[in-house]
């Protein structure tokens, strides 16, 4: 059984979502549900920290794209931090998202 833990916190630059576990068909709806609870202000950045993500399938990638759409609808930015190298480059999503080495770097920029 897939497990996913999402921790949300607010920072001065915008909300941070920390993803731990498997973002897949059985858990991607959890991320989509968390997104509906986030209020983004224009100019803020939604940061999705993937340091703890162990696995991501196409449903997980679709949920990340939904996060991007949520941010853009709010006239906000979106960035991914600590992306496992094999995940986004395979499907070219590193061309759609700002990709940062870790959340500390992201919060300083």
Classify 69 in phi/psi space as left (phi over 0), alpha (psi -120 to 50) or beta. Answer: alpha
Mean pLDDT for the stretch of residues 20-36: 96
Q: Which residues of 61-96 are buried (b: 16+ CB within 10 A; e: fewer)?
A: bebbeebbebbeebebbbbbbbbeeebbeeeebeee
- Boundaries of domain holding 61: 4-108
Check residue 21 and give its pLDDT.
95
Answer yes or no: is pLDDT of 1 > 70.
no
Give the pLDDT band of residue 87 (cuts 50, 70, 90): confident
Q: How far is CA 102 from CA 16, 38, 49, 109, in A?
A: 12, 21, 7, 11
Check residue 88 and give its pLDDT.
63
Cα of first residue to Cα of last residue in the chain, in angstroms, is 37
82, 101 Cβ separation under 8 angstroms: yes
Domain total in the chain: 1
86, 78 Cβ separation under 8 angstroms: no
CATH of the domain at 102: 3.30.750.24
């Amino acid at each position: 059984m897939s497990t996913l833990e999402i921790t949300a916190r607010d920072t001065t630059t915008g909300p941070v979502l920390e993803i731990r576990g498997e973002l897949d068909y059985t858990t991607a709806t959890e991320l989509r549900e968390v997104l509906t609870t986030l209020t983004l202000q224009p100019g803020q950045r939604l940061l999705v920290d993937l340091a703890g993500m162990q696995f991501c399938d196409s449903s997980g990638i679709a949920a990340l794209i939904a996060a991007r759409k949520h941010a853009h609808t709010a006239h906000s930015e979106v960035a991914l931090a600590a992306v496992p190298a094999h995940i986004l480059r395979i499907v070219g999503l590193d061309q759609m998202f700002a990709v940062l080495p870790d959340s500390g770097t992201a919060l300083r920029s």
